[in-house]
């Protein structure tokens, strides 16, 4: 069987040495290389602006050689060659060292005064002047002066994502070599002809050729637009096909009853559901009553009441004679969910089957003693446990349900798609995945295209305000006032969280300046301002029992100040907590900061959040200022996405490869994504097997096989 040329390894066309160098950039096959698109283009008539090059950046610049000197050094043995390159206004120094002048004579000959070249290296500073030390370079006048070379000389120069050991022109030569042997028939069109015509797109082969060798801005603009749409279309086809395959499955409907545990729960609720909770509840109830599996994402603002919505769905399934499982990413969160669900349900949580007026709520984690685990597994297998809350332990092969009807996955970004679907596919159950990290619409469409999305943006009435303040760590007077405010809040009956980015010195020895739980707890215990305040600690290395004791002590007030890592980020609910100090806040993402802040102000009293940082400038400063200025998680999510690289949002963390986004920009290209999705839906409605588009089917299969369908970055 002949291997398609795009799937062939680069060794066959370029040799082992070049292939090894390209492999370090993750470029293994011919297809990988031709889809390694230029980062930008350099107009040969327009030099790179040299004045704004940041020290420390690895750069590729185009400039003219202004002067060159080669001499023997006086202070030590050897020779030095200095060349000044210029953009017409600013200069950059090129410096080369060698044992003798003869070793640099080749460089001297090529770096002729007035010649134009591409120069690549890391920007350094020497005696106040920026320089490239031992840069790689390619002189553009060195090309053969035949007709083809003259034509190339008029074209924009593609600048590829490169590395210190593999400059852009080496990649360009490799791309040129493989593009010479690829025919149009080797490059399948992944977008149907009718869609290309409707969107005004090029064919795939033409787009690939023009993106690597455009005659001008119009050509590479058209090529990039085509490849950007293709990328969005393949991505959406993958997600839509995944959704349609699930929809095609048949499942037992779980319509519930009008007089079961859910009705009793609703009647006993001590508060009124928000309009959003009621609307989303109706959407979920309708999904559960269908014969096709529910696949729904429930996203909600911090404190918007997602747990109540999920519990009502679980009770509907219990009323239908089935069971529900809630999968949490950490033991702390699993225990919190078990406690809160048991408290919300009250006496019915200790019942038997639904017909007897209640259901058992059980907890299953890896830390359970063997005897207790055996008891829980028995109740799960018999159906006596109607609701089971657990961690990854729920995914174990020895966990068998009597009749699992619903899987609820909390904080879904902590799980891969495969993990998320283990129970659902094994037991043929409905699925509800939840996130407390608000997701911009385009990201939801891109990341969760296989799910229907419900949003809770409304907070329950009477939620107190939380004020946020940025505190420069080096301002000692400000820091003293922070701890005074903590003491004042505790004196008034409040409780305080102090969040640190690491556990102890061994956690990140290369960065000893970062606050740790162990050191911070010891320092606060000896601070006279906090004298008499009992302090607890909570972090991921503690045993389950120790975590439970620490969280229990804080919840009951035996300790009033809890020094913790981000294990308290989600789910932890202590209404008395009114103040939070986040140390080294610059080390946390904007959404994570928002989640942490959501742990306070959950009772009747207003909250105070202090974000302490030594770095309040640049993107870090903008992120922290946004955090201070807004409590709207959806606004913050948009800001976070705008400040981060696309690959931080959409990546392939499960497969260990680089981001699948080469051209697509989630925010800037939201309209492209929406149009691509509409076309993908229409195609798959008429051709669910993609029989008419074998190239697209193969591309989708590759994404599914590689894990690139798990687009969300997991932290």
Q: Which of 668, 667, 693 is nearest to 680 (CA)?
A: 693
What's the mean pLDDT when you consider all of the chain?
85
CATH number, domain at 496? 3.40.50.300
The verdict on residue 422 lying in a domain is yes
Lowest mean pLDDT among 163-177, 549-563, 697-711: 697-711
Domain boundary among 155, 189, 224: 155
Residue 69 pairs in a beta bridge with: 82
3-state class (DSSP) for residue 150: helix
Instruction: For residues 431 and 478, state if they share a domain.
Output: no
The verdict on residue 254 lying in a domain is no
3-state class (DSSP) for residue 289: coil
Instruction: For residues 398 and 518, state if they share a domain.
Output: no
**Band of the pLDDT at 149, cuts 50, 70, 90?**
very low
Instruction: For residues 275 and 346, state if they share a domain.
Output: yes
The verdict on residue 675 lying in a domain is no
Q: Would you tell me how many other CB atoms lie within 10 Å of the CB of residue 259?
A: 9
CATH number, domain at 148? 2.40.50.140
Domain boundary among 155, 176, 193: 155
Instruction: For residues 484 and 581, state if they share a domain.
Output: yes
Tokens of 75: 């202070």
**Predicted TM-score of the model (pTM):** 0.68
The verdict on residue 547 lying in a domain is yes
20 against 661, higher pLDDT: 20
The verdict on residue 241 lying in a domain is no
Write down the pLDDT at residue 711: 42
Write down the pLDDT at residue 127: 84
Write down the pLDDT at residue 258: 86
Instruction: For residues 523 and 398, state if they share a domain.
Output: no
| 200-223 residue pLDDT tens | 999 999 999 999 999 888 999 999
What is the mean pLDDT of the segment spanning 346-373?
Answer: 75
Instruction: For residues 396 and 317, state if they share a domain.
Output: yes
Domain boundary among 155, 177, 208: 155
| 315-330 residue pLDDT tens | 999 999 999 999 988 8
What is the domain range of residue 132? 44-155
d(CA 398, CA 393): 9
| 163-179 residue pLDDT tens | 877 888 899 999 999 99
The verdict on residue 513 lying in a domain is yes
Element containing residue 52 per DSSP (H, E): none
Instruction: For residues 420 and 485, state if they share a domain.
Output: no
Instruction: For residues 312 and 409, state if they share a domain.
Output: yes
Number of compact structural domains in the chain: 3
The verdict on residue 149 lying in a domain is yes
Instruction: For residues 414 and 488, state if they share a domain.
Output: no
Q: Of the spans 111-125, 173-187, 293-307, 344-358, which averages the highest pLDDT?
A: 173-187
Write down the pLDDT at residue 655: 28
Write down the pLDDT at residue 657: 32
What 8-state DSSP symbol labels residue 626?
Answer: H
Residue 564 pairs in a beta bridge with: 499, 538
Phi, psi angle pair for 257, to nearest 5°: -135, 170
| 615-666 residue pLDDT tens | 776 677 888 999 999 888 878 877 877 776 444 333 332 222 333 567 777 7
643 against 601, higher pLDDT: 601
Helix 204-212, helix 168-181: angle, nearest 10: 150
Instruction: For residues 274 and 400, state if they share a domain.
Output: yes
The verdict on residue 420 lying in a domain is yes
What is the mean pLDDT of the segment spanning 249-276?
Answer: 89
| 465-516 residue pLDDT tens | 899 999 998 899 999 999 999 999 999 999 999 999 999 877 655 565 789 9
Write down the pLDDT at residue 714: 31
In the block, residue with structure tokens 């292939």: 19
Instruction: For residues 428 and 546, state if they share a domain.
Output: no
Write down the pLDDT at residue 651: 36
Write down the pLDDT at residue 142: 57
pLDDT at 707 over 60: no
Instruction: For residues 272 and 394, state if they share a domain.
Output: yes
């Amino acid at each position: 069987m002949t291997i398609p040329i795009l799937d062939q390894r680069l060794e066959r066309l370029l040799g082992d040495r070049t292939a090894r160098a390209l492999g370090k950039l993750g470029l293994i096959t011919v297809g990988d290389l031709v889809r390694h698109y230029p980062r930008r283009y350099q107009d040969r008539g327009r030099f790179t602006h040299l004045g704004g090059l940041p020290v420390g950046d690895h750069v590729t610049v185009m400039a003219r050689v202004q002067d060159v000197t080669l001499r023997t050094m006086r202070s030590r043995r050897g020779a030095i060659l200095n060349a000044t390159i210029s953009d017409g206004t600013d200069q950059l120094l090129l410096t080369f060292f060698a044992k003798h002048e003869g070793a640099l004579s080749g460089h001297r000959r090529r770096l002729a005064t007035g010649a134009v070249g591409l120069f690549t290296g890391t920007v350094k500073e020497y005696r106040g002047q920026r320089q490239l030390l031992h840069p790689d370079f390619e002189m553009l006048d060195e090309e053969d002066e035949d007709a083809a070379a003259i034509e190339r000389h008029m074209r924009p120069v593609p600048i590829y994502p490169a590395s210190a050991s593999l400059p852009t022109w080496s990649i360009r030569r490799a791309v040129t070599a493989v593009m010479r042997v690829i025919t149009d028939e080797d490059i399948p069109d992944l977008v149907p002809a009718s869609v290309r015509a409707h969107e005004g797109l090029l064919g795939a082969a033409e787009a690939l050729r023009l993106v690597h060798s455009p005659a001008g801005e119009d050509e590479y603009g058209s090529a990039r637009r085509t490849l950007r749409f293709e990328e969005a279309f393949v991505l959406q086809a993958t997600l839509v096909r995944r959704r349609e395959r699930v929809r095609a499955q048949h499942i037992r409907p779980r319509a519930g009853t009008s007089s079961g545990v859910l009705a009793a729960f609703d009647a006993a609720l001590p508060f009124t559901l928000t309009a959003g909770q009621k609307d989303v509840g109706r959407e979920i109830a309708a999904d559960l009553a269908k014969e096709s599996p529910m696949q729904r994402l429930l996203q909600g603002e911090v404190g918007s009441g997602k747990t109540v919505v999920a519990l009502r769905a679980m009770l509907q399934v219990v009323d239908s004679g089935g069971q529900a499982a809630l999968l949490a990413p950490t033991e702390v969160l699993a225990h919190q969910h078990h406690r809160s669900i048991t408290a919300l349900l009250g006496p019915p949580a200790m019942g038997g089957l639904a017909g007897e007026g209640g259901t058992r709520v059980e907890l299953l984690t890896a830390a359970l003693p063997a005897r207790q685990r055996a008891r829980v597994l028995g109740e799960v297998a018999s159906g006596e446990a109607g609701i089971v809350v657990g961690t990854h332990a729920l995914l174990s092969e020895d966990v068998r349900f009597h009749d699992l009807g619903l899987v609820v996955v909390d904080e879904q970004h902590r799980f891969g798609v495969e993990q998320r679907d283990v129970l659902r596919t094994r037991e043929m159950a409905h699925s509800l995945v939840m996130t407390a990290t608000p997701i911009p619409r385009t990201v939801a469409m891109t990341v969760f295209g296989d799910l229907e999305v419900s949003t809770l943006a409304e907070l329950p009435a009477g939620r107190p305000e939380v004020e946020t303040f940025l505190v420069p760590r080096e301002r000692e007077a400000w820091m003293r006032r922070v701890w005074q405010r903590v003491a004042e809040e505790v004196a008034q009956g409040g409780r305080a969280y102090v969040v640190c980015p690491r556990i102890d010195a061994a956690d990140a020895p290369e960065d000893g300046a970062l606050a740790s739980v162990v050191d911070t707890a010891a320092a606060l215990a000896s601070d006279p301002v906090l004298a008499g305040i009992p302090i607890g600690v909570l972090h991921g290395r503690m045993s389950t029992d120790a975590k439970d004791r620490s969280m229990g002590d804080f919840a009951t007030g035996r300790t009033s100040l809890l020094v913790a890592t981000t294990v308290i980020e989600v789910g932890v609910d202590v209404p008395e907590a009114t103040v939070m100090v986040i140390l080294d806040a610059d080390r946390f993402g904007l959404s994570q900061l928002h989640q942490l802040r959501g742990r306070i102000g959950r009772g009747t009293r207003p909250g105070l959040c202090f974000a302490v940082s030594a770095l309040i400038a640049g993107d870090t400063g903008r992120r922290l200022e946004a955090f201070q200025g807004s409590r709207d998680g959806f606004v913050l999510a948009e800001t976070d996405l705008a400040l981060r690289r696309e690959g931080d949002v959409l990546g392939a963390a499960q497969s260990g490869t680089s981001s699948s986004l080469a051209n697509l920009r989630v925010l800037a290209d939201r309209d492209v994504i929406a149009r691509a999705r509409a076309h993908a839906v229409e195609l798959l409605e008429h051709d669910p097997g993609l029989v008419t588009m074998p190239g697209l089917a193969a591309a989708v299969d590759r994404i599914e096989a590689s894990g690139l369908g798990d687009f969300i970055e997991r932290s």
